Amino acid sequence: MRSARGAALLRHLILGGFSAVIAMPLLWVLRVSLTDKATAYRLPPEIGEIGLQNYVEVFTAFDFTRWFGNSVTVAVLATLVSLPAAAMMAYAAARFRTGGWPLMLGVLASQMIPPIVLVLPMFLVFTTLVPVPGLVAITIAHVAINLPFMAWIMASFFDADTRMLEEAARCDGATRWQAFTRITVPVAMPGIIAAGLLGFILSWNEFLYALLLGNHSSQTLAVGLASLETHAGVNIAPLAAATLLALAPVLLLLPFLQTYLVKGLSLGALK
């Protein structure tokens, strides 16, 4: 009995240690966001006088609302455009073996290319060949990186079980398209939502394309936050407050992501 309790204590100590490693930076940012610049840099860390002045400053002294709006626009649009296309691509790959293994391997390989490699060609395309406004360029770039990623995730959701349901629907009189939209998609919806949420978060946090393809008016949150780090120094306290505000939507989405991802992965339990 005693040894069991000791083992449990040891387990919790180890897990607690790991949790602290993960939570510490976030707690640090939280502390900084609630203090002034002078206190923020003090070592050992002090809490000092706590206030929401940095959060107010984020909205009054900077373009935080615009950055936030741009990020929402880009992430929502990129997800809405890439999700249906990725679902159809994943379906084609899973059902008809379209492209065979080279296609899906290519899709996976595309995720391994360092983003910086693709930025220059994209920059040239969007500045000279197809000049489009910054936000549109960033959205297209995000569609390009999200689509294969989402398709790769979703391919496993269109497995044998959904195939049989589709066959039942086709014998019931549905065309392939009707079977896909009325049976396969609703049944695979948890997985599709999970892929969409992952794509949204990927787009929300994306920095490089947003920095290089956008301009001042199309700055997203990731780029906007980086701009608080200036030649004149780092606006550390407002930066911390803005970072936490930028994290908020992602934190709100995470419980849904977890739920739908688990549901999506357990689609095989339909029978």
Partner 1 sequence: MASIELRSVSRIFGAGAQAIRAVDRIDLRVEDGEFMIFLGPSGCGKSTTLRMIAGLEPVSEGELLIDGVRVNDIDPAERDLAIVFQNYALYPHMSVRKNMAFGLKLRGMAEAEIGSRIARVAETLGVEALLDRRPAQLSGGQRQRVALGRALVREPRAFLLDEPLSNLDAKLRSVMRTELIKLHRTLGTTMIHVTHDQVEAMTMGTRICIMRGGEIVQVGRPQDVYREPVDTFVAGFLATPPMNLLPARLDVADGALRLRIEGQEIALPLASRPGWARHAGRDVILGLRPEDLHEAPVGAATAALDCTIETVEALGPETILTLRLGRDGTELAARLPPEGDWRIGAALRLHADTSKLHLFDPETTRSIPGN
Identified binder of partner 1 from the candidate list 49, 172, 217, 258, rule CB under 8 A: 172
Rule CB under 8 A: say whether 101 interacts with partner 1.
no
Rule CB under 8 A: say whether 171 interacts with partner 1.
yes
Question: Where does this chain touch partner 1 (CB under 8 A) — which range of 10-18, 69-77, 167-175, 192-200?
Answer: 167-175
Give φ, ψ of 230 to 5 degrees.
-110, 175
Rule CB under 8 A: say whether 266 interacts with partner 1.
no
β-pairing, 233-234 with 229-230?
antiparallel
Rule CB under 8 A: say whether 14 interacts with partner 1.
no
Identified binder of partner 1 from the candidate list 65, 111, 175, 181, rule CB under 8 A: 175
Identified binder of partner 1 from the candidate list 44, 114, 173, 233, rule CB under 8 A: 173
Which residue, 31 or 163, is less far from partner 1 as judged by CB? 163
Cα gap 124→110, rounded to integer Å: 20
Classified as helix, coil or strand, 88 is helix
Q: Of 193, 234, 227, give the one whose Cα is nearest residue 211.
A: 227
Cis peptide bond upstream of 44, omega within 30: yes
Identified binder of partner 1 from the candidate list 77, 107, 169, 213, rule CB under 8 A: 169
Give φ, ψ of 119 to 5 degrees.
-65, -45
Cα gap 162→110, rounded to integer Å: 27
Rule CB under 8 A: say whether 262 interacts with partner 1.
no
Contact status, residue 173 vs residue 166, Cβ threshold 8 Å = no
Among positions 177-216, residues that touch partner 1 (CB under 8 A) are 178, 182-183, 186-187, 189
The residue type of 183 is I
Identified binder of partner 1 from the candidate list 85, 119, 125, 165, rule CB under 8 A: 165
Give the binding site for partner 1 (CB under 8 A): 164-165, 167-175, 178, 182-183, 186-187, 189, 270-271
